[in-house]
Structure 1
Amino acid sequence: MRYSTDIVVLDLEATCPERDTNTIERSNIIDVGAVRLDRQTLEVTGVFSELVRPRDFAIFPHITEFTGITPEMVADKETFDHVAERFVHWCGPRNKLTLAVFGAYYDVPLLRKEFDAFGIEFRKHFVGTALDIRALAMVWLAEHHHDTSGVTVERTLQKMGLTLDLDFHRAVADARAEAAILQFFHFGRASV
């Protein structure tokens, strides 16, 4: 498989005030993780990982339980505007990458919201849409006669027979896992 640009697999962790809901409006990003994949080989060519001090919303205990990220871990970190500046620089020009996420309904809108909150123009840096790795996972699962309800990163990896030694629910670990799913979807192997 060849893409016209490199792929940046992005995963975000956020404050999210309510357990089991993805409330974008009342969430701040607290962890940004990304893996850059070569457009032809899908081999990892770069990694970005930074914790973020939330500006408006506290980290709730269920988020600490889920991610391992505590308020103390982010207390001395920079707010999203500074992290976004480094992330955008790491990504490079917008026409040189395709953003990929597992479930485009959450990470991309949350990223847009945080960009807007700090007056950063999203479309200046990213094309408006993203490749949805979850949709590709569902295609693979269906083609291999697996149930497609409740598709998660961990479940997809398990069905693909991939065992990764990662700290799931930290952004960079999840981005690596999602990159492995994309690699496996196209090549039947993963090398993250």
Structure 2
Amino acid sequence: MRQIVLDTETTGLEWKQGNRVVEIGCVELLERRRSGGKFHRYLKPDCAFEARAQEVTGLTLEFLADKPRFDEVVEEFLAYIDGAELIIHNAAFDLGFLDNELSRLGERFGRILDRVTVVDTLQLARERFPGQRNSLDALCKRLGVDNAHRQLHGALLDAEILADVYIALTSGQEEIGFGGIEDAGAGTATVVSFAPVTAQRPRIAAAQAEQEAHLRRLAHLRRKAGRALWDVLEPAAESEALEA
């Protein structure tokens, strides 16, 4: 399976207000591993930056003055992503900007989704960590991905970080043999094979202090609500000593 982790930088937050793409960064994954393949281009936007966008990217119109315009790299870019599964954080943002760039060149290039499928890691993160912050920086901290070198937003750097975040976010899926699905043709059943898990899974026991904190919390809930749902699994007597 070929996946492309993609990120863009832009002159502002809304393409409908005339903002443009100024950087595209892509990192290739083959079978969920980095292949070393990359696509990276800075682009001349022919419009001004919004102040906040320039601040977070560190890019300037002077730096971009000699860079190609989008129409000069579009065919190379589309050939690179064609047929892949794109991994994007907050996909609606990047796809909106890229589709806008394509539409400015006429109808012949269509839309990004005409060529690829997309996985939105922001949506994946919201499903796994509901109610929590799921920015790229927050996910790096939560999943143990090193992003200490991310001082400014950059499309290629963020794509490289997102590749690690995506792999960590979806780790464990390779233990189920979806990669081994066989389709013998029309009218036949799809066979799903489950690969055996041979690695020893770690067993982590709560420390004494953690157990005591847990019991204190249950005691607090019982005082407030009269009961704790945990009582179904754990006898109330264990925490009586801490309720005094």
Task: Classify the TM-score, shorter chain.
Answer: 0.7 to 0.9
Identify which of 161, 168, 171 aligns with 1:184: 168
Q: Deviations over 1:29-79 (max 9, x none)?
A: 0011111111x2332431111110003x21233222110111111001111
Q: Secondary structure at the match of 2:129?
A: helix
Alpha carbons of 1:124 and 1:160: their partners in 2 closer, same or farther (altered >3 Å)? closer
Kindly state the Cα deviation for residue 89 of structure 1 after the two structures are TM-superposed.
2.9
Q: Percent identity?
A: 25
Task: Tell me the distance in 2 between the aligned counterparts of 1:125 and 1:45.
Answer: 24
Task: Tell me the distance in 2 between the aligned counterparts of 1:101 and 1:41.
Answer: 15
1:40-119 equivalence runs, <5 A: 40-55=31-46, 57-91=47-81, 94-95=82-83, 97-119=84-106
Q: Secondary structure at the match of 1:12?
A: strand
Kept in 2, the 8 Å contact 1:13–1:31? The answer is: yes
Which residue does 2:208 correspond to in 1?
Answer: none
Kept in 2, the 8 Å contact 1:108–1:130? The answer is: no
Q: CA RMSD in A?
A: 2.1
Task: Tell me the distance in 2 between the aligned counterparts of 1:100 and 1:54.
Answer: 24
Kindly state the Cα deviation for residue 180 of structure 1 after the two structures are TM-superposed.
1.0
- Number of equivalenced pairs: 169
Kept in 1, the 8 Å contact 2:145–2:161? The answer is: no
Identify which of 5, 19, 22 aligns with 1:9: 5
Task: Tell me the distance in 1 between the aligned counterparts of 2:160 and 2:114.
Answer: 20
Higher relative contact order (CA 8 A, sep 6+): 1
Which residue does 2:119 correspond to in 1?
Answer: 131
TM-score w.r.t. the length of structure 1 is 0.78
TM-score w.r.t. the length of structure 2 is 0.63
Task: Tell me the distance in 2 between the aligned counterparts of 1:106 and 1:69.
Answer: 19
